[in-house]
Amino acid sequence: MRFHWYPENAAHVARHHLATVDVEAIFAADDFAARQSLPKGRWEGEGTVAGKPFRVVFTRPGPDEVLVITAFRTRRRRV
């Protein structure tokens, strides 16, 4: 999977106390699940890393490509 990281989206996830490698780990989590349910072709995914649940919102600009919009720790899973 190829991740598109730009200064803007990397800075946005940093405001949620996550580095880009942390966000990529969410996608690699054994329990990662995603659904396309948000407007503008956006996807919402969730995964558990180090026993903590995280949510990520992203788009898919191409096959096997991900552009992360935001990611943050959550209290519970929805997907």
H/E element holding 40?
A: none
CA angle 45, 43, 51 (to 5 degrees): 10
Q: 79 falls in which pLDDT band (50, 70, 90)?
A: low
CATH (one of 1.10.150, 1.10.600, 3.10.450, 2.40.50) for 2-73: 3.10.450
Q: Give pLDDT tens digits for 5-15.
A: 999 999 999 99
* Band of pLDDT at residue 78, cut at 50, 70 and 90: low
**pTM higher than 0.75 for the full model?**
yes
pLDDT digits (tens, 9 = 90+) for 20-75: 999 999 999 999 999 987 777 899 999 999 999 999 999 999 999 999 999 999 98
Task: Give the start-to-end residue ranges of the domains of the chain.
Answer: 2-73
